[in-house]
Structure 1
Amino acid sequence: MFDKIIDASKGKQFVMFLDYDGTLSPIVDDPDRAFMCDSMRKTMRKLARCFPTAIVTGRCKGKVQY
């Protein structure tokens, strides 16, 4: 799907806003145990090289910084 996003963005300005809990990390009973998997981190790095990217969350920066 990443290639489709890149193709759709040609000639446009995109900004990605992604929610942390339940989107970038799984929903878990203890929020301190919600972590992005390695493949999601890799995807986020790839995305951030292509578009301005923000993680939307109520957590402190240290909890979601990659």
Structure 2
Amino acid sequence: MRHPDFDNPDLPLSELFHHWPACAGEFMNRQMLCPGCPIAPFHTLIDACEEYGLEEMAFREQLKGVAGAV
């Protein structure tokens, strides 16, 4: 199965966790409850960063490193 584009701003969090499960740990390390959240199919990384007050590009780069998507 081909992975979606990691940098797609419309990529739902549920898809991110499905294709790159290691990313879920980074969310949990920051006490972000996105993995397993019923809203994850509707929220993006941008939404999560806004909700939790994170700098999106820095967090995205960290996730890419964990996911091996660099």
Sort the TM-score into its range (normalised by shorter chain): under 0.3
Higher helix share: 2
TM-score between both structures, scaled by the size of structure 1: 0.24
Please tell me whether Structure 1 or Structure 2 has the larger radius of gyration of its CA atoms.
1
TM-score between both structures, scaled by the size of structure 2: 0.23
Higher relative contact order (CA 8 A, sep 6+): 1
Higher strand share: 1
